[in-house]
Structure 1
Amino acid sequence: MTLDAATCYRALRARDARFDGRFFVAVSSTRIYCRPICTVKPPRPEHCRFYPSAAAAEVAGFRPCLRCRPELAPGNASVDATTRVAQAAASLIEDRTLEAEGLAAIAGRLGITDRHLRRAFSAEFGVSPIEFAQTQRLLLAKRLLTDTGLPVTEIAFASGFGSVRRFNALFKQRYRLQPAQLRRRLNGEAVHIGDVLNFELSFRPPYDWPAVSAFLGARAIAGVEMFEGTCYRRTARIASAGQDYFGWIEVGLSANKPALRVAVSASLALVLPPVLSRVKALMDLSCNPAEVAAALGRLASRRPGLRVPGAFDGFEVAVRAILGQQVAVAAARTLAGRFAAALGDPIETPFAALTIVFPTAARVADGDLMLLPNADLDATLERLRALQGVGEWTAQYIAMRALAWPDAYPHTDLGVMRALGERDARRVLEAGEAWRPWRAYAVMHLWNAMTQE
């Protein structure tokens, strides 16, 4: 995003939620940086500096606002190639790949050179990948200190610091506070940790939670996923440093904020960054609905907050897509449940319906195909199409959900054809040209229209 000071300042004065997470404003007189939706009185223009990321503001010497909490800002979906490379690298950094394997490994996964990655990353975030990673660790620690009762020692390691001493020193240096000073207090006592950690993940409104819930609910894999009321729950397995961590998550809509409430089992405390990153991808929290609605026009007018549900696990979505190639949604759900029951791992949870963790790709087949948001689109699609039994519909569906490609377009889908009143796939493909580069969202609107008939 090109930061025009006048445009940014107008968005700041209006507290325009469309710009939340797209830039951060730093105030020279207080040395604090905020989200554009912060409720404090807007500072004078001459005191404002605008940055493309929280990391850029922190590297410039500003500390985060305790009221609007920059660590809660939503991300940014994009179709721009350079931006997607940077966002993919940021996702891998959140998943601890930088710590475990280094920058060269990230560049290799994305099919680019280290130099190109650094250049793309700096253009998007205004900082180097290493500076970004350090800020992400600090902001996660700030969130855990504020929202949970985890001991400081556990927070230090959960945030990715190698020692408590290093964590304390850097936290004080950057934020001019001791970690304990951010502790939320209830009746004078620190919040105690139980079996659950609670978070909020922001989005840019509107967000059509009923439609997203209906989509995920119709495809929920028995034993792995479930809906109860308006809450989505699922089991989770996160691999980190050669170890698998097992647990569960629960997601629901906040009653009074543009955010989703996320509960995470305490067993996943040491792998929170990838857990929260996957929830964001699953629920499409980086979407800018105003941008999508402008491209889709009348098609999006009935449900302007409709999102494209992503994937908590790319392999899981790919398996389900393959199983569903020739059968109805309900039948594919049944097959996916049998697959999980036969090859998955048992798990104990507080919920009787959640009993299985979906199997890993390594257990089912060999290979190193990356099915992650913002992965190299062309290379991944080429490899998917080369697999025996994987057709164009399956490749596009996987791109739509697992790769979070906003312009994915399964134009041979029967539901899309029926919604458009077409039988010729070529004409469906031609019709989709009007919705570029957000055809995946157009597909969701077409599918939704069919379910409403």
Structure 2
Amino acid sequence: MKNFADDWSSEQLYQALASRDARFDGKFFVGVSSTGIYCRPVCRVRLPQLKNCSFFATAAQAEAADFRPCLRCRPEQAPGWSTTDAVDTLAEQAARLIDRGDTDQLTELAERLGTSDRHLRRLFKRRFGVTPGQYLRTRRLLLAKALLTDTRLPVLQVAELAGFGSASRFHEQFRSRYRLSPGQLRRRAISGKAGGKDVGLRFRLGYRPPFDWDGLLDYFGGRSLEGVEAVIEQSYCRAVALSDPQGRLHEGWMRLRPALSGHAIELSLSDSLAAVIPQCLARVRALFDLDADPDRINQSLGSLASGRPGLRVPGAWDGFELACRAVLGQLVSVRAASTLAGRVAVLADRSVATPWPEVHRRFPLPEEFLALGETALGESGINRRSAAALATIAKAVVDNILDLAPGADPKAAREGLLSIHGIGDWTFQYIALRALRWPDAFPAGDLGVKKALGMIKPAEAEQIAERWRPWRGYAVFHLWRSLV
């Protein structure tokens, strides 16, 4: 990953700061020595003097330099960095796993990456200028800050959700870093809201413009699973289930819609999902491709992107669900694939109460899918080969042999998926693109891709697509959209 703040001079970064251009949001942070506060480049406070500015690639670097996060622009709401930036080194893979909230134990993190604690710390410090522990601590503190500001969850629950081992440790670190107690920040947040009204679990998630919200809604709406998800009044709604770190399952609903102001979307969650808020936030960012960098992508794609500069690659709420859609979508229409996947949800019969009659069940987890049985799937119209392939995928996911989460190693996923009878390159590429969030995935043999390129051979499509690396996945969606 090339850090934006490393590539530009202080003078250039200062000009970007002065522009307050949202396209720079999340690419760097600025610490102001006269206040001891660090901000996003879109912050609307008075522009500081250049001599008082220090620029950082990450929030963790700013906090390691003893700057406190701005309470106005809220660095925790900034877009992150895209998946393509996270696979070059062990350090970047570690940062991605921390951002995903997959682990809060550095020993476990090193084990997952097949290295030692000491070696990982050395690589991480060299790459990011902070240790993994400092990076993780900043993530915890910023998550706690978001929960204290955006929800009325008890402070003790906030400490637990943010990954602090004890309330006393949480209070100590929070006050030491931010010069406010958690209670003081909560009171400030409440007083700043109209009437101090409790709006439930509601969060703002930033993105870099342009952002084609309507295009995403059209895509999800055209492939929605009946009863599981729906587009309702310009919002995306669905039923979900996630396990907390202790293995307890939490079911509920979520709704996404454009924020009333700024470059952000608003996420609402049912109270039943309070224990899995961190996982929900990470999954939604991947689902709606909120960390994409349109300027950088569009420069690589050239004229192909000119008509749809805000295009995003739709993600997946769950990797196994997306794998089901991909396998069931082989050689059938989009609508037929959605119908078959919807039948899997009907067969699993996992009801969830939501505010919308259109959304009343969730998709089964891999272990729940395994309990359905080949006979029942066959009676629902799913052929034996597809059922067997999906059972193999589900078993591999349950056994932690196959990782289908955003940022997972595409090479390992390819090896695992292609070893399954009935899984070919198209299926892998589609899963890699939407579930793994691998932006260079390219299904060269896809009929839509071949049509858009003039019905050429896959090898010729591969050759043409070389110019679009490492964003060939975005090129695929531009090609598909060109056929509509």
Relative to the length of structure 1, the TM-score reads: 0.93
* Cα offsets for 1:237-278 (capped at 9, x unmatched): 111212111111101112321111110111111211111000
Alpha-carbon shift at residue 88 of structure 1 (Å): 4.2
Alpha-carbon shift at residue 352 of structure 1 (Å): 1.6
8 Å Cα contact 1:83/1:120 also seen in 2: no
Alpha-carbon shift at residue 13 of structure 1 (Å): 1.5
Aligned to 2:423: 390
Quote the Cα distance in structure 2 between the aligned partners of 1:355 and 1:311. 19
Aligned to 2:410: 377
Aligned to 2:479: 446
Aligned to 1:176: 179
8 Å Cα contact 1:231/1:252 also seen in 2: yes
Alpha-carbon shift at residue 336 of structure 1 (Å): 0.4
SS at match of 1:359: coil
Alignment of 1:53-452 (within 5 A): 53-80=58-85, 82-83=87-88, 85-99=90-104, 102-110=105-113, 114=117, 117-183=120-186, 184-185=189-190, 191=196, 193=198, 196-240=200-244, 241-343=246-348, 345-363=350-368, 364=370, 365-367=394-396, 368=400, 369-451=402-484
Aligned to 1:36: 41
8 Å Cα contact 1:94/1:273 also seen in 2: no
Q: Quick check: 354-363 or 268-277, which moved more?
A: 354-363
8 Å Cα contact 1:254/1:261 also seen in 2: yes
Q: Quick check: 3-12 or 322-331, which moved more?
A: 3-12
8 Å Cα contact 1:149/1:190 also seen in 2: no
Quote the Cα distance in structure 1 between the aligned partners of 2:228 and 2:94. 28
Alpha-carbon shift at residue 440 of structure 1 (Å): 0.4
* Cα offsets for 1:184-209 (capped at 9, x unmatched): 23599984546x31111000000001
8 Å Cα contact 1:432/1:439 also seen in 2: yes
Quote the Cα distance in structure 2 between the aligned partners of 1:450 and 1:232. 24
* Cα offsets for 1:112-162 (capped at 9, x unmatched): 554554345335533222222211111111112222222222222222223
Alpha-carbon shift at residue 376 of structure 1 (Å): 1.3
SS at match of 2:411: helix
Q: Any unmatched runs of 5+ in structure 2? A: 371-393
Alpha-carbon shift at residue 18 of structure 1 (Å): 2.4
Quote the Cα distance in structure 2 between the aligned partners of 1:377 and 1:188. 44
* Cα offsets for 1:73-114 (capped at 9, x unmatched): 100115356557545433432454333xx3343344445554
* Cα offsets for 1:333-383 (capped at 9, x unmatched): 000000112125222222222222221223323222001112112121111
8 Å Cα contact 1:103/1:114 also seen in 2: yes
**Aligned residue pair count:** 448
TM-aligned CA distance change 1:81 to 1:30, over 3 Å: closer
Quote the Cα distance in structure 2 between the aligned partners of 1:190 and 1:107. 47
SS at match of 1:260: strand
SS at match of 1:252: strand
SS at match of 1:235: strand
Quote the Cα distance in structure 2 between the aligned partners of 1:228 and 1:377. 34
Q: Quick check: 316-325 or 44-53, which moved more?
A: 44-53
TM-aligned CA distance change 1:114 to 1:185, over 3 Å: closer
TM-aligned CA distance change 1:147 to 1:299, over 3 Å: same
Q: Any unmatched runs of 5+ in structure 1? A: none
Alpha-carbon shift at residue 415 of structure 1 (Å): 1.0
SS at match of 1:185: helix
TM-aligned CA distance change 1:401 to 1:86, over 3 Å: farther
Q: Quick check: 65-74 or 1-10, which moved more?
A: 1-10
Q: Quick check: 119-128 or 222-231, which moved more?
A: 119-128
TM-aligned CA distance change 1:119 to 1:80, over 3 Å: farther
TM-aligned CA distance change 1:202 to 1:319, over 3 Å: same
Quote the Cα distance in structure 2 between the aligned partners of 1:389 and 1:107. 34
Quote the Cα distance in structure 2 between the aligned partners of 1:121 and 1:325. 41
Quote the Cα distance in structure 2 between the aligned partners of 1:317 and 1:84. 27
8 Å Cα contact 2:101/2:282 also seen in 1: no
Quote the Cα distance in structure 2 between the aligned partners of 1:248 and 1:145. 21
Quote the Cα distance in structure 2 between the aligned partners of 1:188 and 1:54. 26
TM-aligned CA distance change 1:372 to 1:119, over 3 Å: farther
Percent identity between the two aligned chains: 48
8 Å Cα contact 2:406/2:435 also seen in 1: yes
Quote the Cα distance in structure 2 between the aligned partners of 1:273 and 1:372. 15
8 Å Cα contact 2:22/2:41 also seen in 1: yes
Quote the Cα distance in structure 2 between the aligned partners of 1:153 and 1:239. 20
8 Å Cα contact 2:83/2:407 also seen in 1: no
Quote the Cα distance in structure 1 between the aligned partners of 2:415 and 2:40. 40
SS at match of 1:249: strand
TM-aligned CA distance change 1:261 to 1:81, over 3 Å: closer
